[in-house]
A and B are shown apart, each in its own frame.
Chain A
Amino acid sequence: MKARSLAILILVAGASAAAGVGYHLWSRGGGTGSGMDTPEVVERVLRAQLADVKGTSRSLEQWRGSVLVVNYWATWCAPCREEIPVFVRLQERYGSRGLQFVGIAIDPPDPVAAFAREFRINYPLLLGGVEAIELLRQVGNRAGVLPYTLVIDRNGNLVSREPGGLKEARLERLIQPLL
């Protein structure tokens, strides 16, 4: 009797685990569509007018034709800061081959300037306000997650959208074929 109830228990546990995993896969499969029009959104990202740390208004237009890595971040966002040294390294390594990092900080100018000095950031930083956040949501990042990184090839095609921290190896794998 005891052995039998144990067997039933194990059966139930196994079956429910399988059901849980199955349900999860099923629910995840349905939820990834973003409903965005990619080329148009990239166009909007490239054309957006954003201030730099000194207050000058700039856009990403000037780097059109480069392999662009656009990184949304903030100084108060600890996971964002962790990947900055990786970006600095890769900018140094591949900058001459046409790779361009651009950081868009959801922040006031002062901490960004201080941070750029301290971490010797060797790529341009722009400041994102309400409009930039709205754009970020339109790119497919509805929850407004930081860090969020876009990889855009030389023809202006969106190659990848990366929510959360990026490992150096993964980013390198993403950009190398584009250079």
Chain B
Amino acid sequence: MRFVLILLLAFASLARAAEPELLEPDKAFRFAARLKDARSIEVTYQIAPGYYMYRDKFQFTLAPAGVKSGAPQLPPGRKHRDEFFGEVETYRGSLSILLPFELADAGQPALQLAAVSQGCADIGVCYVPHEQKAELQFASLAAGAARSDAAPGWLFGSGPAADDTSIARVFEGGFWLVVASFFGFGLLLSFTPCVLPMVPILSGVIVGSGRAVTKTKGFLLAAVYVLGMALTYAGAGVAAGLSGSMLSVALQSPWVLGAFALVFVALALAMFGLYELQMPVALQHRLADASNRFHGGHTVGVFVMGVLSALILGPCVAAPLAGALLYIGQSRDVVLGGSALFAMALGMGVPLLAVGASAGALMPKAGPWMETVKRSFGTVLLGMAIYLVSPFLTVPVQMFLWAALLIVTAIHLRAIDPLPATAHGFQRFSKGVGIIALIAGLAYLVGALSGGRDILQPLSGLRVTDSGGASSETPFERIGNVAELDERIRAAAGRTVMLDFYADWCVSCKEMERYTFSDERVRARFREMVLLQADVTANNAEDAALLKRFRLFGPPGIVFFDRDGREIQGLRVIGFQPADRFVPVLDQALGFRR
């Protein structure tokens, strides 16, 4: 019964997430900026599904005055005809803009970026030009790069928002991880029930029947065969990468990614044995005939056989291969695509090489364990499906999906079935894995139901509420008008002052209080400051005067004053900032000397 209740709650939260409601512009167009290197800034927008931005309406302003910004590099948008303006380009999904800049004075510790953008929602409204700000610390250049590498992303390093196809970037990031993953993927594929039994037969064909071969020759011929296969797969990978770069704009749409996710689910169902998936039989036969015409034993013949064999997709390989190609197409990376698929084919060829080298002595026995391999592919494919659509889902929904996948997998691994006393090692191992999956799944479920915000720390939401409840509210002094503010700043002489604009309806203010102000590192720094808060919920004339003084439209906004009571220019925090980013800002405010 409790399970039904949990399910019910989860569905309720899903139903709410699907409800179309007009988002605040900061939510509809999630803005982020980071220093890509010492000469350019990468500005990214995560555009919510159903919203779009105008390509020709971006304006970027950099401060301080010594910084000159170059022309922003805007990727091509989606073109459509506008009856008044003619052709208009818009963006949907995720958007990355490169903003080059020149620094006249190398001594600057930080840059302030103000980005003005314009966008609309499909339901029939637009937003007034919207300004979003970011503070970019040069000191963070090294640390920032490291952080983005460790970004969430499970098996494969780069996410669907991978925006850069430059080879340099690929090599610095998860390139080798992806290639290694594909190699492992290929190795696993060769243990599926439709590939492994073929290996001895295949190796007989390769070597040429009825001929005595040395181990070296056997290995070399097998290697040539595998190479032929691998090059074909690499070609497919390159093609997928190329098609991906042409389809890159379309691929950012939630519909396309959603459709891909559905394909993954369909492929996964094939892996679970709900139906069989393979190339049309007629085509398979024709290719098989062609490859049979080449006689074994000769290097060229074996190579061509390898090439052709890659085209004969068995029922087990077709689905994962399609998945892999979709993933490559999605990453829009030709080099990565070719290398990954090459590695995958090499992985698939490993048993063949082993058989060739050992002349048949090294050969695992076929058995029901192969079905397990097949099913684990199904699970991986379902994971890919969730991963693909996750940019368009709220974190709790993502967590719920992961929870469902992990828990169902765990049950399949017999996590809660009792083990017989006679259980052998593999059963015990699989139960162990199952229990890990079960606990991780439960953690995600709890995270989803408790409004967790971090997919890597599903329970962090609970932790913050607990400690926040115990260790009292952040001690802000309320101020009501400009005169009070001036008086408090004067009274604080010699101490740094932080002024926080707050309103009951301001979501990011609440997030700031709950997640950032409650952080122990933030609290430690708060103890060295005078903390003021202006509650502008009522939005009366005094509130308006306060906002106007700092040229703010409204909360959220945090302003700092130095020990002499003057505002520290360029150190404002607008919008939500996690503690990791907020702590360096506090340090700068505390250390500020004119």
Contact = CB atoms under 8 A, between A and B. Distances in A.
A174 interface: no
A12 B4 CA distance: 7
B585 interface: no
Contact of B126 (A17, A118, A133, A146): A146
A95 interface: no
Nearest to B88: A76
A115 B84 contact: yes
Interface string A34-72: 011100100000000000000000000000000000001
B427 interface: no
B92 to A, nearest CB: 15
A16 B123 CA distance: 26
Interface string A130-149: 00011011100011111100
A35 B540 CA distance: 8
Interface stretch (B15-23, B266-274, B368-376): B15-23
Interface string A72-91: 10111111111000000000
Contact of B24 (A75, A82, A142): A142
Interface residues of A, number: 47
Given A79-B125, A136-B128, A20 B25 contact: no
A165 B126 CA distance: 10
A156 interface: no
B12 A8 contact: no
A163 interface: yes
B25 A143 contact: yes
Contacts of B120: 77-79
Interface string B461-499: 000000000000000000000000000000000000000
Given A17-B15, A36-B539, A133-B553, A144 B130 contact: yes
Nearest to A145: B125
**How many B residues touch the partner, as a band?**
35 or more
A53 to B, nearest CB: 16
Contact of B12 (A23, A36, A82): A23
B142 to A, nearest CB: 37
A148 to B, nearest CB: 8
Given A137-B554, A138-B544, A35 B538 contact: yes
B8 A12 contact: yes
B539 A8 contact: no
Interface in A1-53: 8, 11-13, 15-17, 19-21, 23-24, 27, 31, 33, 35-37, 40
Contacts of B19: 20, 24
B114 to A, nearest CB: 13
B196 to A, nearest CB: 36
B128 A106 contact: yes
Nearest to A21: B15
Given A21-B15, A24-B15, 13 more contacts: A16-B7, A16-B15, A19-B8, A20-B19, A23-B12, A24-B19, A33-B505, A35-B538, A72-B128, A76-B126, A80-B126, A145-B127, A164-B123
